């Protein structure tokens, strides 16, 4: 298996030293670099797709008469917001990271509830819209180049977000989200569920995890499961395409 990775490293232009082939830690670093290299072309295309979505949304939002149903509150995620807040065990106001915040719908919801919310999105257009709509700090970062403060947030809200991260890059990204949570902090995630298919759909990249695969990714990153449920609520399972889950960073 390592021979295959060594050959792949040569193909990608990564030079492995003798210590890299004998040290477990060095091997892990090299494997991580391989994963990030292989995810980079996908990520570049995904960023362009996300930017196109942001531009299209902004264009529709600029013409409310032609698109009267397009608002920042056109999709009810109050159940998901409540699930995150319910499991955070510190006194409010809370510091919340809205991961892949889009135009700011959920940032506005958190600030209305009295919390300190920070947005993060990879699309410049969405970042500008979210800042204008909410007055919150919004950081422009993408999932392969996160630069997050250590142990800073009480909670992370990743609603319809993490399934866009290529599977090769997901472990590293989840570890970074784990690191930016305070001990005892909580991460909420909602993804469209599937049987672990991965690829392009309507110009966006997606990975459609099943519950067991998602549990493995989260556990490997150091999270402990609190609960999971399927959405929309009140429907038969075959009509609940979304898998929502809540996770804690252990205190010790």
CATH number where 93 lies: 3.40.50.150
Report the chain's mean pLDDT, rounded to a whole number: 81
Highest mean pLDDT among 1-15, 23-37, 181-195: 181-195
How many domains is the chain built from?
1
Instruction: Specify which residues 116 forms β-bridges with.
Output: 95
Does residue 41 sit within a domain? no
Residue 57 has pLDDT above 80, yes or no: no
Q: Is the dihedral of CA 209, 211, 213, 217 positive or negative?
A: positive
Does residue 243 sit within a domain? yes
Does residue 222 sit within a domain? yes
Phi, psi of 186, rounded to the nearest 5 degrees? -125, 140
pLDDT band at 28; cut points 50, 70, 90: very low
Residue 8 has pLDDT above 50, yes or no: no
Phi, psi of 188, rounded to the nearest 5 degrees? -105, 135
Query: 30 by DSSP, 3-state: which?
Result: helix
Of 217, 84, 227, nearest in space to 153 by CA = 84
Percent of the chain predicted with pLDDT > 70: 70
Where is average pLDDT lowest: 39-48, 71-80, 109-118? 39-48
Does residue 3 sit within a domain? no
Does residue 235 sit within a domain? yes
Report d(CA 109, CA 144) in Å as an integer: 27
Q: Please name the residues in contact with 214: beta carbons below 8 A apart, sequence gap of 6 or more.
A: 189, 191, 243, 245
Domain of 106, in residue numbers: 78-248
Alpha-carbon Rg for the chain in angstroms: 19
Residue 90 has pLDDT above 70, yes or no: yes
Does residue 23 sit within a domain? no
Residue 141 has pLDDT above 60, yes or no: yes
Of 13, 105, 6, nearest in space to 57 by CA = 105
Contact indicator for 101, 130 with CB cutoff of 8 Å: yes
Q: Please name the residues in contact with 62: beta carbons below 8 A apart, sequence gap of 6 or more.
A: none
pLDDT band at 68; cut points 50, 70, 90: very low
Does residue 34 sit within a domain? no
Of 168, 171, 209, 205, nearest in space to 44 by CA = 205
Q: What pLDDT, on the 0 to 100 scale, is given for residue 11?
A: 32
Report d(CA 248, CA 188) in Å as an integer: 9
Q: What is the mean pLDDT of residues 128-151?
A: 96
Instruction: Specify which residues 197 forms β-bridges with.
Output: 208
Do the bridges between strand 181-192 and strand 153-159 make them parallel or antiparallel, or are there none, so unpaired?
parallel
Report d(CA 141, CA 131) in Å as an integer: 14
């Amino acid at each position: 298996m390592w021979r295959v990775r060594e050959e792949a490293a040569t193909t990608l232009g990564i030079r492995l030293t003798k210590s890299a082939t004998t040290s477990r830690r060095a091997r892990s670093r090299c494997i991580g670099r391989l994963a990030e290299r292989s995810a980079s072309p996908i990520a570049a295309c995904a960023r362009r797709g996300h930017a196109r979505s942001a531009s299209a949304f902004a264009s529709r939002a600029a013409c409310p008469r032609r698109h009267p149903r397009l608002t920042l509150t056109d999709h009810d995620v109050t159940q998901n917001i409540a699930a995150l807040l319910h499991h955070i065990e510190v006194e409010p106001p809370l510091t919340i990271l809205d991961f892949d915040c889009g135009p700011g719908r959920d940032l506005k919801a958190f600030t209305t509830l009295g919390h300190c919310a920070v947005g993060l999105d990879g699309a410049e257009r969405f970042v500008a819209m979210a800042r204008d709509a909410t007055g919150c700090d919004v950081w422009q970062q993408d999932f392969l180049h996160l630069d997050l403060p250590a142990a800073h947030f009480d909670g992370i809200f990743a609603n319809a977000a993490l399934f866009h991260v290529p599977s090769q890059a997901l472990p590293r990204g989840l570890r970074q989200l784990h690191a930016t949570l305070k001990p005892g902090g909580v991460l909420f995630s909602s993804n469209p569920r599937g049987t672990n298919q991965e690829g392009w759909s309507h110009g966006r990249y997606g990975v459609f995890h099943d519950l067991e695969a998602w549990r493995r990714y989260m556990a490997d990153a150091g999270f402990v499961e609190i609960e999971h449920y399927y959405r929309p609520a009140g429907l038969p399972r075959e009509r609940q395409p979304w898998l929502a889950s809540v996770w804690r960073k252990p205190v010790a």
